[in-house]
């Protein structure tokens, strides 16, 4: 069994990594937004950078949650536990969803993110689009109509808010 000091060092390192990663990726997006464009290349790059940020958030949260699992932690589902311990068996959508749910539960935060609505369904399409952008098989994979782009942009905002809300709720919990 790891000592409390070892767990605290792992937790501190995981949070430090999370904050550094978030700062760098947020800076990328801020710079991109300063030159926002309706051009297809800009939209493709924004989706790629945004999803990289979201996946960076999820990776960092899994590291934080891995420490919480070694402590006395509230119960999470077997699927959430597997996603935290080894995310290789999950697609990008499930990694995000299961990681967020587990993080909220392991830190006793509420309300839990809601994955039953239209926002989540659209976010799943965003993740599939990012996959097609990274692994295109036809020119069609690279295009984004204006209406589709607006949906992707809303998804990026919604997913970003889920991670941001986690940090806000966690800070509020530990500040009280």
| Span 118-172, pLDDT tens digits | 999 999 999 999 999 999 999 999 999 999 999 999 999 999 899 889 988 988 9
Q: Which residues contact 85 (CB under 8 A, 6 or more apart)?
A: 66, 69
Write b or e for each residue in 70-83: b if 16 or more Cβ atoms lie within 10 A of its Cβ, otherwise e: eeebeebeeebbeb
pLDDT at 12: 85
pLDDT at 119: 94
> In the predicted model, is pLDDT for residue 57 greater than 80?
yes
Q: Do 101 and 51 meet the contact criterion of CB atoms below 8 Å apart?
A: no
pTM here is: 0.86
Looking at the chain, the whole-number percentage of residues with pLDDT higher than 70 is 98
> In the predicted model, is pLDDT for residue 1 greater than 70?
no
> In the predicted model, is pLDDT for residue 68 greater than 90?
no
pLDDT at 142: 95
* 140: DSSP letter: G
Question: How far, in Å, CA of 106 to CA of 100, rounded?
Answer: 10
Paired tokens of 112: 């839990």
Burial (CB count <10 Å: 0-12, 13-18, 19+), residue 150 = exposed
What are the phi and psi torsion angles at 138 (to 5°)?
Answer: -155, 160
Burial (CB count <10 Å: 0-12, 13-18, 19+), residue 32 = middle
Map residue 47 onto helix, strand or coil.
helix
> In the predicted model, is pLDDT for residue 93 greater than 80?
yes
- Domain extent, residue 47, equals 4-175
Question: How far, in Å, CA of 113 to CA of 120, rounded?
Answer: 10
Q: For the chain, what is the domain count?
A: 1
Paired tokens of 13: 């390192």
């Amino acid at each position: 069994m790891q000592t409390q000091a070892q767990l605290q060092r792992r937790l501190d390192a995981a949070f430090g990594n999370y904050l550094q990663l978030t700062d760098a990726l947020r800076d990328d997006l801020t710079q991109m937004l300063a030159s926002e464009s309706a051009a297809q290349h800009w939209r493709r790059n924004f989706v790629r950078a945004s999803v990289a940020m979201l996946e960076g958030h999820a990776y960092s949260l899994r590291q934080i949650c891995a420490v919480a699992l070694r402590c006395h932690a509230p119960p999470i589902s077997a699927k959430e536990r597997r996603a935290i311990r080894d995310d290789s068996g999950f697609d990008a959508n499930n990694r995000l969803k299961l990681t967020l749910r587990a993080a909220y539960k392991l830190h006793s935060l509420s309300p839990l993110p809601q994955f039953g609505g239209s926002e989540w369904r659209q976010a799943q399409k965003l993740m599939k689009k990012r996959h097609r952008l990274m692994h295109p098989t036809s020119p069609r994979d690279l295009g984004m109509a204006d209406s589709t782009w607006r949906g992707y942009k809303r998804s990026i905002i919604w997913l970003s808010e889920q991670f941001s809300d986690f940090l806000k709720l966690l800070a509020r919990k530990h500040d009280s």
